[in-house]
């Protein structure tokens, strides 16, 4: 990926790794738009980085994803890089049985919400720029590795499902 001259949207960009990535890419001269659920974190990050923009996004909510994608298309028509960074790791004791709410929230935040965002953002996919043809970067997918015992197509949903099944053995 060329690291300059891009318009980049980063989910989970108000704190942690996402904020660090947003700030580093912003310093290289890219237009950065961050998103997250916590407006206070987004505001703190944009205040500390003049020129950076933010949009509130609940990656678990398809209506929130649809609204944000409409704003992205309207306000940032040159967007050419999407970094799906938002993620959660909630405490759950799998030995005592998995809490359905924690499981659904975790899978939706870490995987399904990003897949919905990618689908909704398709109108921006062919934007010209230094990274033409490389619109989506799935940061969370870097942490999803296929189990050694099972062949995989590389699909993030398949890899996640396989890893979950392996962890329950």
Which token pair is 120?
Answer: 């909704």
pLDDT tens sequence across 96-114: 777 888 888 888 888 788 8
4 CB-contact burial (10 Å; exposed 0-12 / middle 13-18 / buried 19+): exposed
Q: pTM to 2 decimals?
A: 0.77
27 DSSP 8-state letter: H
pLDDT tens string 11-42:
999 999 999 999 999 999 999 999 999 999 99
In this prediction, residue 162 has a pLDDT band, given cuts at 50, 70 and 90, of: low
Q: Where along the chain do its domains lie?
A: 7-138
Measured CA angle at 63 (ends 62, 68), to 5 deg? 95
- Going by the DSSP 8-state scheme, the letter that residue 151 receives in this structure is -
In words, the CATH class of domain 7-138 is alpha beta
């Amino acid at each position: 990926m060329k690291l300059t001259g891009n318009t980049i949207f980063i989910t989970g960009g108000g704190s942690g790794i996402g904020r660090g990535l947003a700030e580093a890419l912003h310093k290289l001269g890219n237009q950065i738009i961050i998103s997250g659920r916590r407006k206070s974190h987004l505001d703190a990050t944009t205040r500390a980085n003049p020129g950076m923009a933010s949009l509130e996004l609940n990656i678990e909510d398809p209506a929130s994803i649809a609204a944000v994608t409409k704003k992205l298309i309207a306000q940032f028509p040159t967007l050419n890089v999407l970094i799906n960074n938002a993620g959660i790791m909630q405490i759950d004791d799998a030995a005592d049985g998995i809490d359905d709410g924690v499981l659904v929230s975790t899978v939706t935040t870490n995987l399904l919400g990003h897949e919905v965002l990618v689908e909704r953002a398709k109108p921006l996919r062919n934007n010209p720029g230094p990274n033409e043809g490389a619109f989506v970067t799935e940061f969370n997918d870097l942490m999803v590795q296929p189990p050694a015992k099972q062949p995989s197509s590389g699909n993030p949903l398949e890899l996640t499902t396989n890893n979950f099944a392996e962890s329950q053995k």
